[in-house]
Structure 1
Amino acid sequence: MLLKGLKVVEFATYIAGPGAAGILADWGAEVVKVERPEGDPMRNVFGDAKSALTGNPTFALDNRGKRSVVLDISRPEGREALARLAADADVFLTNVRPAALKRAGLDHETLRAANPRLVYTLITGYGLDGPEAHKPGFDVTAFWSRAGVARMHAPKGQDPFILRTGVGDHVTSLATVSATLAALYERERTGQGRFVQTSLLATGTYVVGSDLAVQLAYGRLVSNRPRSDPFDPLANFYKSRDERWFVLNPRGGASDWPTLAAACGRPDLPQDERFATGRARKDNNKALVAELDAAFAEMDFEEIARRLDEADLVWAPVQTPAEVAADPQAAAAGAWVEVEDGQGGAYRSPAAPALFPGALSSSRPPFPGLGQHTEEVLAELGYSREEIEAICGVAAA
């Protein structure tokens, strides 16, 4: 396992923080998830008693293979136990707001004073400075909306729409893993840990950074446009006769245009003066979309796919989640991992998006029950049976 021996203490809830620690766990790190007595709220995401759904695949995705410890941080004993965990760790990862961490004596200055090799990673909504740094943030607020991502994706004149679950969080998880590993690499050279900070807001601005670079340079940016009135009609969505959507994304310049026209059964289109040049195609974009709509509507999807592939054009089907789950190419690309269900079976779950051939197990352990490993982990820290009973509030088994 790549990160075998790396000790990570996660004091985080919801998705961005647990997702980052979950990737580290997938790659072999030993992750102790510290939860308050009420547990991570994501444990209850499918907690509606009226629902026919069973299990909790959303929570399982970010928490498989971890050990769970319950500590009441409102009590001195709980705070002391968490500090002792951090003193024995390589990484302390949290998304608790800094003011609360400071009050509990769990801020980076305090924990790194006790463990100078500690990499202390903090995830926030809006960063650590500025008049609104203290605000709580979720990915739909700080990443999707405040960072401008929602506005850039909604075509001009259309209402903004809600982000799907955890999208901004999981991108922030990836950024957080990268930053944490960079700090660990630095520690290998210097012997010293450091404070690392990521935010949903800064991650969002980087995700749409290609467009924001234009905004910063020129003070303006072209809006997203509807399918019928695209900026480039060749890079657009189209539908087959059997009503399956696909997207075209030709290579730069005009080199793919004659090939695409031939593939859709209209080799005459590049000779039409309305579509002969890039400028002409932009000026007559609605007309060209109509022509391509009509051409592709004459063919079933399988025929379109065959023609586009034979022409070596860049395209992809617009798949439903069910189609993605059944896509053999997604499986071949390493998109899924087998996770033990704790009952002798296993199920598929999304994998962390990197492959290390031969280095990682083909399956992952299940996610832990709330506080499942509290006594075990505290005993490893040197707590006596009586001390564990006092911290847990119950007799140790």
Structure 2
Amino acid sequence: MLLEGLKVVEMSTWVAGPSCAAVLADWGAEVIKVESPIGDVTRAFFANPENGQSPIFANENRGKKGVVLDTTQPQGRAALKALLRDADIFVTNTRPGSLKKIGLDYDSLKGDFPRLIYAAVTGFGLTGPYADEGGFDITAFWARSGVAHATIPTDQEPFPSRPGFGDHMTAITTVAGILAALHERHGTGRGRLVETSLLRAGSYAISWDLALQLYYGEVQTAGPRNDRPVAISGFFRTKDDRHLVIVPKNVNCFTNVMIAIDRPEVVADPRFELPMLDLDIVREARAICDEGFARFTLEEMGERLNSLDVAWGPLGTLAEHAASERAELAGCFVELEDGLGGVFRAPATPVRFPEGAPPVRRPAPGLGQHTREVLEAAGLTAEEIEKVL
């Protein structure tokens, strides 16, 4: 079912690489996570003081088998290559230069493993002078790509994205590339290098604005609220001190919003005929909206906007989302075993398979939990295993 029968070896840390492999595990692949003796750094992130479990590590590494190998040593590298002998996919976000030094880069492995799909997750790609620069999603995906500058209003101080925000888009992008290469291998019998980067994923995420920049040489992004050219677009505060956002989808939206806030007479005023090109008139219309929305609660306004088919959404909190029936019905959460006899809820991957999929329950592995088991299955002798333990 789905990816059952595929073997994935993952040697990565932090988020983008592990998250990619976790999606493959969710979809049925056997995933072996290779860690150094000190382990993936995220094991310590927000760890529960009662049981040592990190929900961050659990989210990015559920469903995997855990192996500890010191790949700085010859015996560790030999053991890794033994795992790759019958692997379909290798996922790594180790810096390219470091991999090349120890002979685990794509060029060093492809001759011995011609069917292997080698997925390299990087900050800035595999070529050029920036290939070995460290990249995190906040620095590469968010800041360098222009995503942050296009998103943060110019009258506000810059702020970082939330942790893992760009990593997860890069992860699902890597999964897509792996599956394309896997499809090709059905016909050719050969694997290939799949390369993704945080910078490229950020460029694609902001590609609406970036397309305009590339075509016209300039683009208008998130300026101050009062300078934005569409009066009914953006966030508005309601009577109960909540916020909602409106996205106009056609020329009828202005009329429908005026009806929703009980100001239908505005539509008949020739000053507000669309398109409104005078920014002073836009500001006046926005002030009418501000006053109108402030007379209704979020629930009241939501009912009105829904009845008029206006695209809107509340500025919800994570707590509201976690308790939301809408999110539950959309399949946003899964229950994972904690390895201690209990279960806890975690975010689901963004794809659901209503006609059946492997259950997502198995917990993330303890450090080196399956080392002996996995190496025995790979054909290493007891003496060889003892050398790497």
What is the match of residue 33 of structure 1?
Answer: 33
Q: How far is 1:334 from its partner?
A: 0.9
SS state at 2:349 partner: coil
> Secondary structure in 1 aligned to 2:334?
strand
Which digits, 9 at most, give the CA deviation of each residue in 1:290-338, with x for residues without a partner?
A: 1111111111121111111111111111101101101111111111111
Counterparts of residues 60-79 of structure 1 (less than 5 Å): 60-79=58-77
Tell me the amino acid that sits aligned with residue 97 of structure 2. Answer: A
2:14 maps to 14
* 1:69/1:371 contact within 8 Å kept: yes
Deviation readout 1:205-234 (Å, 9 max, x if unpaired): 111011111111111111312333323121
Aligned residue number for residue 111 of structure 1: 109
Q: How does 1:231-380 map to 2 (within 5 A)?
A: 231-252=229-250, 254-280=251-277, 282-380=279-377
Is 1:178–2:186 an aligned residue pair?
Answer: no
- Counterpart residue number, 2:202: 204
Native 8 Å contact 2:26 2:359 kept in 1: no
Q: Which residue of 2 aligns with 1:156?
A: 154
> Counterpart of 1:395?
none
Which of 79, 84, 87 pairs up with 1:86?
A: 84
**Alpha carbons 1:225, 1:231 under 8 Å: kept:** no
Counterpart of 2:37, as a letter, is P
Q: Retained in 2: the 8 A contact 1:11–1:33?
A: yes
Gaps of at least 5 residues in structure 2 are none
Alignment gaps of 5+ in structure 1: 393-397
Q: Work out the CA distance in 2 between the residues paired with 1:35 and 1:16.
A: 15
Quick one: distance in 2 between partners of 1:40 and 1:83? 20
- Alpha-carbon contact 1:274-1:281 (below 8 Å) kept: no
Residue 5 (structure 1) aligns with: 5
Q: CA deviation at 1:361?
A: 3.7
Q: Supply the AA of the counterpart residue of 1:228.
A: N
Aligned equivalents of 1:211 and 1:195: distance in 2? 30
Residue 190 of structure 1, CA deviation = 0.7
TM-score (norm 1): 0.95
Residues 233-266 of structure 1, C-alpha deviations (whole Å, 9 max, x = no match): 21111111011111111213x2222122111111
Secondary structure at the counterpart of residue 84 of structure 2: helix
Cα–Cα, structure 1 residues 53 and 325, in superposed 2: closer, same or farther, change >3 Å? farther
Counterpart Cα distance in 2 of 1:389 and 1:141: 41
Q: TM-score, normalised by structure 2?
A: 0.96
CA distance in 2, matches of 1:165, 1:341: 23
CA offsets, 1:12-50, max 9 Å, x none?
00000000001000000000000000001111112597x
Q: How far has the Cα of 1:54 moved from its partner?
A: 6.1
CA shift in 2, pair 1:53/1:217, >3 Å: farther
Q: Is 1:337–1:362's contact at 8 Å kept on the other side of the alignment?
A: no
Of residues 126, 149, 159 in structure 2, which corresponds to 1:128? 126
Relative contact order higher in (CA < 8 Å, ≥ 6 apart): 2
Contact 1:46 1:53 in 2 (8 A): no
Letter in structure 2 aligned against 1:5: G
Matches of 2:323 and 2:352, distance apart in 1? 20
2:260, 2:159 → 1: CA distance? 35
Q: Is the 8 A contact 2:227 2:279 kept in 1?
A: no
CA contact (8 A) 2:47 2:53 kept: no
- The aligned length equals 389
Q: Is the 8 A contact 2:123 2:136 kept in 1?
A: yes
Check the 8 A contact 1:126/1:133 in 2, yes or no: yes
> How far off its partner does 1:281 sit?
6.7
Q: Structure 1 vs Structure 2: percent identity of aligned residues? A: 47
Q: Is the 8 A contact 1:46 1:54 kept in 2?
A: no
